[in-house]
Amino acid sequence: MIIISKKDASVQKIEELYNFLDRHQLQYNSHSSNGHLVIVVNGTDLHEIKQQIMCFSAVENVIPLSKSYTLAARETRNVNTSIIINNLTIGESELIFAAGPCAVESREQIIETALFLRECGVHILRGGAFKPRTSPYSFQGLGIEALEYLAEAREKTGLAVVTEILSPEDIDIIIQYADIIQIGARNMQNFALLVKAGKSGKPILLKRGIMATVEELLLAAEYILTTGNSQVILCERGIRTFETAVRNTFDISAIPLLKHASHLPVFADPSHASGKIELIAPLAKASVAAGVNGLLIEVHKEPYNAKSDGHQSLTFQLFKKLMKDLQALYDYLKQLD
């Protein structure tokens, strides 16, 4: 709900309104616009309260929101959110590339990969330290050892690092090493994890759940935003459908839907979306055409020897070519705007 104050509302009348909102334990934030105070109240089911708020003499209008989420909605914030990490800005005019192996497998592997990716012009190094594997018998990641290798790779290359958190208990250790915390598809609705990661104040890459609607993804983002952390990147990575020819069904429409509904930056992950090397380039190109701010792509020096997701990891050579093509496509599309 958005409350618009009267232009001449006195400080005392505004205070009365704030006291009312506090008494009802509502979360809100306010800013001024053209002489009016605009108060954005989080949450839904506010119809009864709306009538009461209309009775305050400081109030000119109350606009109910059409969405179930507030802070993530473009309706409440009409400027795109940009996320700044050192020299890197996510969510503005540059197409951002995040790339690297599914999992950090060794010091040599991640440093060699990071050096290669930096030469390509990649911005963010990805690499799992704690891996969410379907089978308990599969490689689970190197844990803290991997975080140390990622930090060394960052030091050598200047690349920002994104890595996944699986458990709220790991937050203190992850924030020592990661520039961006990844919350994976399996944990998109792990609300305790969303809040814990949100409170760390670090940028968060939030991936769409395997069975999540676009609205549920935005509500998961809302959990992070309510902690006061506004640095959320949404990531479309495919959803589970009846189709078995691909690992997941890439929901291309989610990209313009998210861009339309929210001010948050949107990434696509064509690797997990398809599970197939040969589909990554076309899906990545489609993502750029659909308006993503960035891409998350798995890259491995020897995909056939990878400890996880080798079947969807691009070789160095394939990645380099794809990145060039994506940048050219992005530059071309920008001219049409």
Least Å distance, CB 38 to ligand PEP, is 36
Least Å distance, CB 122 to ligand PEP, is 15
| CB-CB contact of 97 with 121 (8 Å) | yes
What's the rounded Cα separation, in Å, for the pair 197 and 78?
Answer: 25
Beta strands in the chain (DSSP E): 2-5, 28-33, 36-41, 59-63, 83-85, 88-90, 96-100, 124-126, 160-164, 180-183, 204-207, 232-236, 266-268, 294-298
Least Å distance, CB 239 to Mn ion, is 16
Least Å distance, CB 54 to ligand PEP, is 44
Site string for Mn ion, 46-85 (x = CB under 5 A): ----------------------------------------
Nearer to Mn ion, 1 or 102 (CB): 102
Q: Is residue 294 a contact point for ligand PEP (CB under 6 A)?
A: no
Q: Is residue 198 a contact point for ligand PEP (CB under 6 A)?
A: no
| CB-CB contact of 127 with 174 (8 Å) | no
Residues 124-153 that bind ligand PEP (CB under 6 A): 128, 132
Q: Give the side-chain half-sphere CA count within 13 A for 194.
A: 25
Name the segment binding ligand PEP (CB under 6 A); options: 2-10, 51-59, 183-191, 218-226: 183-191
Q: Is residue 77 a contact point for ligand PEP (CB under 6 A)?
A: no
Q: Is residue 170 a contact point for Mn ion (CB under 5 A)?
A: no
What's the rounded Cα separation, in Å, for the pair 198 and 147?
Answer: 20
Calculated CA dihedral for residues 46, 51, 53, 56, nearest 10 degrees: 180
Q: Is residue 101 a contact point for ligand PEP (CB under 6 A)?
A: no
Closest-CA residue to 218 (of 239, 256, 188): 188
Nearer to ligand PEP, 65 or 110 (CB): 110
Query: In what helix (H) or strand (E) does residue 321 lie, and over which residues does it extend?
Result: helix 316-336
Least Å distance, CB 102 to Mn ion, is 3
Nearer to Mn ion, 264 or 273 (CB): 273
Q: Is residue 102 a contact point for Mn ion (CB under 5 A)?
A: yes
Residues 242-281 that bind ligand PEP (CB under 6 A): 269, 272
Residues 209-238 that bind ligand PEP (CB under 6 A): 237
R_g over Cα of the chain: 22
Nearer to Mn ion, 196 or 207 (CB): 207
What's the rounded Cα separation, in Å, for the pair 272 and 320?
Answer: 19
Q: Site for ligand PEP (CB under 6 A): how many residues?
A: 10
Query: In what helix (H) or strand (E) does residue 202 lie, and over which residues does it extend?
Result: none
Residues that bind Mn ion (CB under 5 A): 102, 309
